[in-house]
């Protein structure tokens, strides 16, 4: 049974452990939401792990935190999210995820090259494949590209139609809805479209669907409170990567450890481009903070952690800070 109201991206070993730590300490169910870029059957940017290698680490966390209640979920499983649009790649992810014991898979075909009807039909095929491999697998649906746009009445009709379509052949746990949230740089630049969300909730209740909000990073307690009773679950990820990067840099400054090579690697990787809003690549420090998490597996970052480890338990410092950030979403 899923009663969790928070999904967290697994951008590093420390973040994954913090999720288990937070779950055990707060006696709270949490979801790890792995994207195809992060972890996949053929590897990802998180430690270069394949899905099976990732699950081996998850098993070690279950032993270390036996009272934790953490669900393993696939975020945005569909073509294009890792730059590969062939459906064979999507199906390979599904097959390996289910083989490895994932609890939930988010089927998202928003990048499929076809009409809206074709996207829905391909989504149905993928879901039926999931259920063929494991009839009890939990499902998340929703094909919105989250852009923070102010959705209108025609979007409500589309959501109703899609919810009816999916509910006709499966029983999804979550439906992803644009609520207005949007992340740029290190800020929440969107808004909570409460009136629209209230209407969506009434639609989803007809089909026994729970509302999931993506891009919920950097929300204040006040903003989180607005969602109570409307949004059933939130996803956060980049915020935690930024927290880990900032702690690492702060500790480097504290102990006089050079981190220029790490910033240079991030700059050259150009993963920061998708997050920029008002700033440019000339703000090298901001680019480093925004996109540091894509490079936590690099030798330059591991060398920094090794040097910091001679000064303090840097891994636990990061884990505790991430845990506290997660607790803000209780």
Burial class (CB in 10 A: 0-12, 13-18, 19+), 25: middle
Residues 225-277 pLDDT 10s = 999 999 999 999 999 999 999 999 999 999 999 999 999 999 999 999 999 99
pLDDT at 152: 76
pLDDT value, residue 244: 99
Superfamily of domain 6-237: Aldolase class I (3.20.20.70)
pLDDT band with cut points at 50, 70 and 90 for residue 57:
very high
CA gap 9, 73 in Å, rounded: 10
Q: What is the reported pLDDT for 218?
A: 98
SS3 175: strand
For position 146, what pLDDT does the model report? Answer: 61
Give me the mean pLDDT over the 283-288 stretch.
96
Q: At what angle do helices 260-269 and 284-291 cross, to 10 degrees?
A: 80
Query: Residue 307, exposed/middle/buried by CB under 10 A (0-12, 13-18, 19+)?
Result: middle
**pLDDT, tens digit, for every residue of 69-80?**
999 999 999 999
Confidence grade of residue 143 (pLDDT, cut at 50, 70, 90) = low
Picking from 185, 111, 181, 110, the residue whose alpha carbon sits closest to that of residue 148 is 181
Q: What local confidence, expressed as pLDDT, does residue 147 receive?
A: 59
Angle, CA 95 vertex, CA 93 and CA 97 arms, to 5°: 65
pLDDT reading at 62 higher than 80: yes
Q: Where are the domains of the chain?
A: 6-237, 240-327
Considering Cα of 14, then 17, then 21, then 22, what sign does the dihedral take? positive
Does 132 have pLDDT greater than 70?
Answer: yes
* Averaged pLDDT, 80-108: 98
**Which pLDDT score is estimated for 87?**
98
**Mean pLDDT, range 203-225, rounded to an integer:** 97
pLDDT at 186: 95
**pLDDT in the model for residue 154:** 85
Average the pLDDT over 112-139 and give the result: 97
% residues pLDDT > 90 (the chain)? 94
User: Averaged over 153-167, what is the pLDDT?
Assistant: 93
Give the pLDDT of residue 192. Answer: 92
* Residue 50 pLDDT class (50, 70, 90 cuts): very high
Q: Which residue has the tokens 């929300």?
A: 219
| Mean pLDDT rounded to a whole number for the chain | 96
Q: Is the pLDDT of residue 150 over 70?
A: no
Q: Is the pLDDT of residue 24 over 90?
A: yes
Question: What is the Cα–Cα distance from 75 to 89, expressed in whole angstroms?
Answer: 15
pTM of the model: 0.96
């Amino acid at each position: 049974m899923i009663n969790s109201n928070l999904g967290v991206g697994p951008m590093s070993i420390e973040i994954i452990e913090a999720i288990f730590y937070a779950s055990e300490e707060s006696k709270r169910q949490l979801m790890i939401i792995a994207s195809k870029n992060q972890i996949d059957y053929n590897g990802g940017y998180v430690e270069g792990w394949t899905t099976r290698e990732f699950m081996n680490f998850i098993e070690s966390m279950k032993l270390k935190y036996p009272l934790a209640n953490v669900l393993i979920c696939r975020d945005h499983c569909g073509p294009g999210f890792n730059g590969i649009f062939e459906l064979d790649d999507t199906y390979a992810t599904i097959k390996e995820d289910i083989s490895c014991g994932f609890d939930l898979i988010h089927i998202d075909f928003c990048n499929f090259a076809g009409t809206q009807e074709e996207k829905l039909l391909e989504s149905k095929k993928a879901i039926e494949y999931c259920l063929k491999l494991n009839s009890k697998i939990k499902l998340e649906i929703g094909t919105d590209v989250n852009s923070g746009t102010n959705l209108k009445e025609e979007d409500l009709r589309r959501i109703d139609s899609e919810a009816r379509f999916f509910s006709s052949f499966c029983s999804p746990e979550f439906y992803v809805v644009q609520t207005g949230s949007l992340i740029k740089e290190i800020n929440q630049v969107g808004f909570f479209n409460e009136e629209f969300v209230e209407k969506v909730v009434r639609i989803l209740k007809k089909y026994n669907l729970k509302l999931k909000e993506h891009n919920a990073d950097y929300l204040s307690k006040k903003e989180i409170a607005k969602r109570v009773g409307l949004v059933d679950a939130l996803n956060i990820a980049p915020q935690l990567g930024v927290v880990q990067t900032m702690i690492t840099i702060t500790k480097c400054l504290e102990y006089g450890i050079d981190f220029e090579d790490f910033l240079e690697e991030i700059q050259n990787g150009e993963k920061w481009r998708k997050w920029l809003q008002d700033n440019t690549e000339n703000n090298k420090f901001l680019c480093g903070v925004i996109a540091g998490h894509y490079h936590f597996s690099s030798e330059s970052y591991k060398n920094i952690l090794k040097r910091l480890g001679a000064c303090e338990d840097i891994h636990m410092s990061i884990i505790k800070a991430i845990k506290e950030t997660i607790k803000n979403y209780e």
